Amino acid sequence: MATAENTNNTEVADQSVSEAIQDSVELLDQVSDYGYVIMDSLYLIIGGMLTIFAIHFLISRLVYPHLKNLRILKVLIGTLYVLILVVAVLVVLKQLGFDVSVISRISILTVLIAAVGLFFLLPFLPRLPFKVGHLVKLSGELGVVDSITTYHTMLRSLDGNIIFIPNALLMAGKIINYHDTPERRITLDVEAGFDCDLDLLKAQMATIMQSDERVLDAPTKPMVVVTRVDASGAKVCGFCWVENKHWFAACSDMWIALLDAIQADDKLSLSRPERDVYLVGEKSD
């Protein structure tokens, strides 16, 4: 009796193993049958993405710098990405035997309608006025944008520190984007003493700015003016414009040249900080 029961259990186990092996073989056959479909779809997607990437790279280098409104190009590139994915899915479905004649028209029409709608809605969508790689001043911190996430922006300061600033705080504060500024103004302001020859100082400052090849004639030519006179002396300011990429180096070179000019001429001098001290409660002799 026990021998017959063991025999039945063995036959059931063998049958289960046989069914599992048969199912595995059928699955492998199906995978092999549709493997070429998967590979063709991957080739299509990868090839299309590389093509769009190449087009976007060329446009960003050759066209973007000469355009102020990039909305059309951004929507066009995004639409091409989506169309490639939609076409790849439709090709896979067609090779699997599905009728995609109707769904293909609906899908492509939906993508185009969405692109047109996005084109008109894009200016009204909230966005941060900077991108990764831009030199900005956020919440009083100056640095290069390293990354932007949903909740915060990571800023790399000029001394190498990493600063995390919440996006909600950024939108409520003042943002200065130096990257989008083609020209930037250099301001040389000094406090001249009463024994200083102001005309000579103005001439020296004008010569320093005008002799620098990086200085531009627009928006305005270099100029030097006296902006204030008080008990400590006169404040003399020089203004000039340079390209944004030359601002740091040009500013440093001009300050060094101005310091050398003041030290080399006895007629030029800067005012010294002074403070009057009054003694209360003491009688003079």
Task: Render 113-141 in DSSP notation, one character per residue.
Answer: HHHHHHHHHGGGS---S--TT-EEEETTE
Q: Where are the domains of the chain?
A: 8-124, 135-177, 183-264
| CATH class name, domain 183-264 | alpha beta
The string of pLDDT tens digits covering residues 132-146 is: 888 888 888 888 888
DSSP string, 208-246: HHHT-TTEESSS---EEEEEEEETTEEEEEEEEEEEGGG
The per-residue pLDDT for 242 is: 93
- Report field, pTM of the whole predicted structure over 0.85: no
Q: What is the 3-state secondary structure (H, E, C) of 1-18?
A: CHHHHHHHHHHHHHHHHH
Of the candidates 182, 156, 167, 72, which has an alpha carbon nearest to the alpha carbon of residue 129?
167
Residue 150: exposure state from Cβ atoms within 10 A (0-12, 13-18, ≥19): exposed
Same fold, 135-177 and 183-264: no
Q: What is the pLDDT of residue 54?
A: 77
Report the alpha-carbon distance of residue 110 to residue 57 in Å, rounded.
Answer: 27
**Tokens 């250099």 sit at which residue?**
186
| Secondary structure element (H or E) that encloses residue 192, with its range | strand 183-192
pLDDT digit string, tens, across residues 182-216: 888 999 999 988 888 889 999 999 999 999 999 99
| Of 181, 77, 194, the residue nearest 129 (C-alpha) | 181
pLDDT for position 24: 61
Which residues touch 224 (CB under 8 Å, ≥6 apart)? 202, 205, 206, 209, 236, 237, 238, 239
Q: Give CA angle at 236 (233, 240), nearest 5°.
A: 170
pLDDT by 10s per residue, the chain, length 285: 545 555 555 655 556 656 666 666 565 565 565 666 666 667 777 777 777 777 777 776 776 656 656 666 667 777 777 777 777 777 767 766 777 777 878 887 888 788 777 767 666 666 677 778 888 888 888 888 888 887 888 888 878 888 888 888 877 778 888 877 788 899 999 998 888 888 999 999 999 999 999 999 888 899 999 988 888 888 999 999 999 888 889 999 999 999 999 899 888 888 877 666 777 766 555
Is 134 within 8 Å of 118 (Cβ atoms)? no
CATH architecture designation of domain 135-177: Roll (2.30)
d(CA 87, CA 89): 5
Cis peptide before 129 (omega within 30 of 0): no
